[in-house]
Amino acid sequence: MPDYPDLTISTCRQTALDFVKEMRRKGLNVVLAVNAAPWKPWEKPFTQPYATGIGLAVADHEVVSPPDGRPSLIWKNDGKMEMRIVNVGEELKDIQLAVSGFQFILRDGKTTVDDNPRLEPRTFYGLSRDRHSLYLVTVDGRQKDYSEGMALNEGAQYLKHFGAADAINMDGGGSTSLVIFNPAKGAPELVNLPPGTGLPRASRAVANSLGVYYAGPPTIKPVSGKRAASEPPAPPVQ
**pLDDT tens-digit readout, 169-213:** 999 999 999 999 999 999 999 999 999 755 666 799 999 999 999
Sign of the C-alpha dihedral, residues 86, 59, 79, 213? Answer: positive
The mean per-residue pLDDT over the stretch 15-34 comes to 97
Is the pLDDT assigned to residue 15 strictly greater than 90? yes
pTM, 2 dp: 0.89
Is the pLDDT assigned to residue 222 strictly greater than 80? no
Instruction: State the pLDDT at residue 2.
Output: 83
Identify the band that residue 223 occupies on the pLDDT scale cut at 50, 70 and 90.
Answer: low
Within 13 Å and on the Cβ side, how many CA atoms surround 33?
A: 30
Taking the C-alpha atoms of residue 81 and residue 96, their distance in angstroms, rounded to an integer, is 10
